[in-house]
């Protein structure tokens, strides 16, 4: 996963960003220090200011305002690649006083690049204060993607170990969660590489098996091979045969190929075990494809037939499509058939849509009809519509004849159009005669998230109709993203009674979520006053989830005071799902208190599966004696 994200972010650098993404690390400051960076970070900021005459003498609030203004301006770029470039440049200017506000901005963003924006900000923050970043990363419960947490822990640990390896090692080994401990250990070992690679390897080898895994070694050898691939390729042979060694060899091959593909290829061909050799060769070929896709395709033909060969060819085709669509199609037709061919074309269209969405839309027509083609087309026209909505709409009307596929593509284009001219996009869609109420709600929500006043005024100005009610619901939902207290009284029984079930759930969720981020007790109180059952359920579940991520102790105290019934069941289920990553035993105990049998069983099974992945021994022991689960589910879950 670490390698995958580095590759994704590296593409930003490849388009001319003068900012090194490097290794992502860190996270927003911890709750314990009131989100304030420590003295070392402040000193770093002062040094930075001293070298910037324009920044000297400017108060922190003004500098933060400027930083956020730069981020906001960058996020409004219509071209996806230029947007990422400008965002990266803006993030690189953030100081320690800007981090909290920048992360809040990123978490509110609904644009597709937000999944990259948060790691970028985290990376910048970690450069300033890796220790605080590492400590916060372990305690972070914001509910982001799993890779965000793993990167935050691993990469901030790396920065910490570069400065103070002794303290960083002690911290990593003291972590309670086995998964967090393995991730931190990998980061610390990588941080020790520059000063003492042999010592770092010896330390990694000396640890108990539960504190290291194939991911740990893979990361370690990948980083080592960046500076000394020959030494790394020799040391990897001391590992025992198996996945750990194969994975490490592949990581060395991939990193080595970035600087010297010929030497990497020569080394990979000498690997004795077949699995390690083929996997390493495939990794090198994939890297080679970035600069010489035709030659890489020829080399891929020598791989043995099977999934690895198909996957390698698919990567090459995707890369080639950026430069020569006809050549990419010819390569796919020559070497791939069936599912492998369709998957490669789908991936090629996805990649192309970032750089040239109109070309990607045309390329998508070459994909066999079905879900892959529809998804590729939707992705392309959505991005195209952020640049030229009229051309994207005209293309759909001309080339898409199948009604379901046409509708999906048109909806995607309208989603892109809403980002640049929401009023025009909504009026076009409503005049088309086949827009669903939930589509209106979703598009007005996107508009209101940036300009709630205009969106709400437009919605209220519509003539009385179901469309008006849907538009108002969307405007209220968008308003809740920035001002939930103002949105709260607008969620009336009359409004909830006039919109769809999905819209009712969405309003309960979006208002409660954003209220809870400010003051969870207010969100809980609001949820308790909702008479609509769907909005009430959504509000209770969301309040509990948001509160548990921010302060699990306070959330637990609130749960204990809730009277038995559906409200408590909904809230307890959400709470257990949040804390299962940090306290699986506690999550299992909470799940056992749910009165609804079906929900209790479902949540407990989820907690148990997650626990088995992180601490198999403890989870197995619990499973053997618990009476919460049915005998059938216990039998399925217990390791054979």
Digit-coded pLDDT (tens) for 269-322: 899 888 889 889 888 888 888 778 877 888 887 788 777 887 788 778 877 887
**Averaged over 84-89, what is the pLDDT?**
86
Quick one: average pLDDT of 371-400? 94
Residue 251 tokens, joined = 């990581």
Proportion of the chain above pLDDT 90, given as a percent = 48
Across 138-147, 163-172, 250-259, 327-336, least confident range: 138-147
The per-residue pLDDT for 40 is 37
- Residue 41: the pLDDT is 32
More confident residue, 176 or 601: 601
Give CA–CA dist 257/263, Å, rounded. 8
* pLDDT confidence band for 520 (50 / 70 / 90): very high
Instruction: Please enumerate, as own/partner, the contacts of 427-435 that have beta carbons within 8 Å and a separation of 24 or more.
Output: 428/393, 430/467, 434/407, 435/467
Alpha-carbon gap, residue 48 to 445, rounded angstroms: 40
The pair of three-digit structure tokens given for residue 472, joined into one six-digit string: 């108002």
pLDDT (0 to 100) of residue 46: 34
Average pLDDT, integer, range 490-505: 92
| Digit-coded pLDDT (tens) for 98-136 | 888 887 888 777 666 666 777 788 788 888 888 888 888
Does 42 or 591 have the greater pLDDT score? 591
What average pLDDT does the chain have? 84
Give the tens place of pLDDT for each residue, 24-51: 333 332 222 222 223 333 333 333 333 3
Rounded to an integer, the average pLDDT of 415-433 is 91
- Asked if residue 104 lies in contact with residue 35, where contact means CB atoms within 8 angstroms, the answer is no
Q: pTM of the entire structure?
A: 0.60
Span 181-213, pLDDT tens digits: 998 999 999 999 989 999 999 999 999 888 888
Higher pLDDT, 454 or 85: 454
pLDDT range class, residue 506, cuts 50, 70, 90: very high
* Residue 277: exposure state from Cβ atoms within 10 A (0-12, 13-18, ≥19): middle
User: What local confidence, expressed as pLDDT, does residue 44 receive?
Assistant: 35
Residues 78 and 354 sit within 8 Å (Cβ to Cβ): no
Environment class of 262 (CB within 10 Å of its CB; exposed 0-12, middle 13-18, buried 19+):
exposed
Residue 427: which pLDDT band, with cuts at 50, 70 and 90?
very high
């Amino acid at each position: 996963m670490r390698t995958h994200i580095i590759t994704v972010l590296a593409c930003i650098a490849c388009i001319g960003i003068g900012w090194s993404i490097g290794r992502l690390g860190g996270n927003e400051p911890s709750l314990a220090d009131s989100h304030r960076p420590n003295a070392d970070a402040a000193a770093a900021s002062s040094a930075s200011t001293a070298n910037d005459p324009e920044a000297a003498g400017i108060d922190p609030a003004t500098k933060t305002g400027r930083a956020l203004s730069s981020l906001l301006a960058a996020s409004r770029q219509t071209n996806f690649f230029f947007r990422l470039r400008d965002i990266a440049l803006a993030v690189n200017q953030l100081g320690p006083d800007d981090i909290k506000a920048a992360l809040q901005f990123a978490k509110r963003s609904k644009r597709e690049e937000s999944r990259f924006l948060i790691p970028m900000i985290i990376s910048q923050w970690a450069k300033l204060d890796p220790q605080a970043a590492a400590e916060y990363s372990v305690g972070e419960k914001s509910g982001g993607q799993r890779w965000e947490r793993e990167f935050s822990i691993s990469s901030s640990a790396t920065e910490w170990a570069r400065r103070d390896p002794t303290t960083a090692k002690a911290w990593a080994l003291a972590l309670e969660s086995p998964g967090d401990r393995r991730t931190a250990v990998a980061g610390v070992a990588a941080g020790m590489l520059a000063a003492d690679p042999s010592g770092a390897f010896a330390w990694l080898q000396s640890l108990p098996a539960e504190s290291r895994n194939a991911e740990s070694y893979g990361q370690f050898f990948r980083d080592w091979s960046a500076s000394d691939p020959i030494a790394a390729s020799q040391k990897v042979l001391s590992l025992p045969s198996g996945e750990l060694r194969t994975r490490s060899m592949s990581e060395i091959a991939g990193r080595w190929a970035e600087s010297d593909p010929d030497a990497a290829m020569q080394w990979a061909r000498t690997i004795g075990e077949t699995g390690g050799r083929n996997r390493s060769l495939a990794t090198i070929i994939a890297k080679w494809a970035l600069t010489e896709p035709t030659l890489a395709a020829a080399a891929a033909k020598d791989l043995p037939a099977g999934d690895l060969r198909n996957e390698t060819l698919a990567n090459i085709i995707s890369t080639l499509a950026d430069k020569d669509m006809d050549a990419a199609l010819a390569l796919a037709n020559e070497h791939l058939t069936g599912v492998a061919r369709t998957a490669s074309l789908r991936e090629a269209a996805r990649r192309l849509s970032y750089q040239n969405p109109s070309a990607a839309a045309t390329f998508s027509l070459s994909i066999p009809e079905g879900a892959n083609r529809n998804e590729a087309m939707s992705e392309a026209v959505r991005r195209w519509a952020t640049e030229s909505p009229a051309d994207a709409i005209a293309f759909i009307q001309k080339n898409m004849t199948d009604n379901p596929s046409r509708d999906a593509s048109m909806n995607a284009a309208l989603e892109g159009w809403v980002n640049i001219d929401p009023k025009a996009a909504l009026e076009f869609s409503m005049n088309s005669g086949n827009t669903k109420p939930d589509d209106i709600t979703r598009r007005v929500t996107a508009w209101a998230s940036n300009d709630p006043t205009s969106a709400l005024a437009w919605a209220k100005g519509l003539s009385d109709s179901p469309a008006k009610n849907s538009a108002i619901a969307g405007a209220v939902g968008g308003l809740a993203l920035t001002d939930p207290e103002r949105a709260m009284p607008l969620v009336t029984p009359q409004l909830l009674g006039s919109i769809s079930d999905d819209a009712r759930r969405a309003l309960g969720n979006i208002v409660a979520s954003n209220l809870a981020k400010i003051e969870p007790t207010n969100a809980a109180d609001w949820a308790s006053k909702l008479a609509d059952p769907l909005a009430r359920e959504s509000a209770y579940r969301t309040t509990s989830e948001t509160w548990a991520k921010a302060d699990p102790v306070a959330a637990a105290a609130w749960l204990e005071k809730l009277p038995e019934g559906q409200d408590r069941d909904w809230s307890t289920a959400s709470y257990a799902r949040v804390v299962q990553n940090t306290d699986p035993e506690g999550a299992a105990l909470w799940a056992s208190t749910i009165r609804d049998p079906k929900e209790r069983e479902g949540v407990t099974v989820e907690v148990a599966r997650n626990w088995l992945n992180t601490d198999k021994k403890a989870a197995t022991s619990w499973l053997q004696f618990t009476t919460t689960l049915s005998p059938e589910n216990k039998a399925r879950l217990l390791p054979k």
